[in-house]
């Protein structure tokens, strides 16, 4: 999947960039609740998800009273 074909934002996820969005879509992750079911290291192991995206996701999770599974 080309990053051109990936939406800029998915569901209730914060804007984290098209490569990271593409990686999350490939993994079937489209909501913050689904992100919370994974550990930071799980997400970082996805090609396209880096520390900046995980940091943005951590902030969004905290704002919704959620945390990573680790």
Task: Report yes or no on 49 lying in a domain.
Answer: yes
For the stretch 6-40, pLDDT in tens is: 666 788 999 999 999 999 999 999 999 999 999 99
> Would residue 69 count as lying in a domain?
no
Residue 38 lies in a domain: yes
CA–CA separation, 29 and 10 (whole Å): 9
The two three-digit tokens of residue 7, written as one number: 């939406």
Q: What confidence tens digit (pLDDT) does each residue in 31-55 have? A: 999 999 999 999 999 999 999 999 9
* Domains contained in the chain, number: 1
Is residue 70 included in any domain, yes or no?
Answer: no
Q: Which CATH number fits the domain that encloses residue 28?
A: 1.10.150
Give the Cβ contact number of residue 26 at 10 Å.
13
Q: Model pTM?
A: 0.88
């Amino acid at each position: 999947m080309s990053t051109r074909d990936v939406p800029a934002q998915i569901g209730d996820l914060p804007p984290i960039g098209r490569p990271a969005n593409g990686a999350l879509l490939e993994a079937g992750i489209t909501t913050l609740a689904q992100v919370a079911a994974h550990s930071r290291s799980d997400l970082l192991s996805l090609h396209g998800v880096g520390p900046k995206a995980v940091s943005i996701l951590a902030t969004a999770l905290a704002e919704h009273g959620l945390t990573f599974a680790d």
